[in-house]
Amino acid sequence: METAFESVRDESRLAPGLYIVAGPIGNLGDLTPRAAEILRKADVVAVEDTRVSAKLLRAAGSDRPMVPYHDHSNDSLRQRLVDRMVGEAVALLSDAGTPLISDPGYKLVRDARAAGRFVTSLPGPSAAIVALTLSGLPTDRFLFMGFLSSKAKARGDALAEVAALRATLVLYESGPRLSASLAAMAEGLGDRDAAVVREISKTFEETVTGTLRELSARYADAPPRGEIVVIVGPPGEAPAASQEDADAALIEAMARLPVSKAAGEVAKALGLDRRELYARAMVLKG
């Protein structure tokens, strides 16, 4: 892939501290000019995998040294990086996308902040956000869940925890696990509308929409290649409470509470009009 960035070291030095640098998620053209500049100017670049990041650094025209970093790296390595931030600019780069988003960095930021270091983050691509914008599902409220466990029990527990949440869910997934994972979601969340977003910003970018069960069936015999984000829509509206439901709830509430309070409680619980419920409660009482 081509790069528009010149292979020259900028003269001015960066202020010491931590620079969180979002990289591309498949298309080098998405490396921002500011990210490239920080990669050229940093004193050291903390990376997940030096071979992966070497390519990006080359594309950015950077010859800066790299040091491998993971949140499970030992504390002394992290402390050395935090110490270096006193007088040096440390850039943090992931293999793809925004560091800390299903990637290392949280503990480094935590410790840098605790030590009073300067911390800044350069905005850039994250597969979760791009997939959300492609899905056609509600974006006003969403929960990022990262990767679900491959163990059935842990996966079921995680889904049960969020099943009642009125929010769109965003999950990272891999091709071989996709069909089983979609089926588990249908089981744990109900057969909701969903989207499988694949290979964002690459040649074979694709978004396929359907219900969780439809998508699970589609991919059962043909696991897709490449990188995948699954977006699951929020639960559908609950059916409106029937007259029988409202009467039963009122009778139960009136056994404990004065009529107006009973009407208020039932109105809140069932999403019905309080005044109408009060009138109905008087009829039931009389």
Cβ atoms of residues 128 and 192 within 8 Å:
no
Residue 199 binds to ligand SAM (criterion: CB under 6 A): yes
Binding mask 222-241 for ligand SAM (x = CB under 6 A): -----xxx------------
Provide the minimum distance between the beta carbon of 270 and ligand SAM in the complex, in angstroms, as a whole number: 40
Residue 170 binds to ligand SAM (criterion: CB under 6 A): no
Residue 105 binds to ligand SAM (criterion: CB under 6 A): no
Residue 101 binds to ligand SAM (criterion: CB under 6 A): yes
Provide the minimum distance between the beta carbon of 2 and ligand SAM in the complex, in angstroms, as a whole number: 19
Cβ atoms of residues 44 and 14 within 8 Å:
no
- Nearer of residues 66 and 145 to ligand SAM, judged by Cβ: 145
Residue 98 binds to ligand SAM (criterion: CB under 6 A): yes
Category of 236 on φ-ψ map: left (φ > 0), alpha (ψ -120 to 50) or beta: beta
Report the C-alpha gap between 53 and 23 in whole angstroms.
10
- Nearer of residues 126 and 168 to ligand SAM, judged by Cβ: 126
Strand 17-21 relative to strand 193-198, pairing: unpaired
Report the C-alpha gap between 172 and 26 in whole angstroms.
15
Provide the minimum distance between the beta carbon of 237 and ligand SAM in the complex, in angstroms, as a whole number: 30
Among 40, 60, 103, 122, binds ligand SAM (CB under 6 A): 103
Residue 126 binds to ligand SAM (criterion: CB under 6 A): yes
- List all residues 6 or more positions away from 15 whose beta carbon is below 8 Å from its beta carbon: 89, 118
Residue 127 binds to ligand SAM (criterion: CB under 6 A): yes
The region of 37-45, 126-134, 135-143, 157-165 touching ligand SAM under the rule CB under 6 A is 126-134
Render 151-198 in DSSP notation, one character per residue: SHHHHHHHHHHHTT--SEEEEEEEHHHHHHHHHHHHHHH-S-EEEEEE
Report the C-alpha gap between 233 and 212 in whole angstroms.
10
Residue 168 binds to ligand SAM (criterion: CB under 6 A): no
Cβ atoms of residues 143 and 162 within 8 Å:
yes
Q: Which residues bind ligand SAM (CB under 6 A)?
A: 25-26, 94, 96-98, 101-103, 126-128, 172-174, 197-202, 227-229
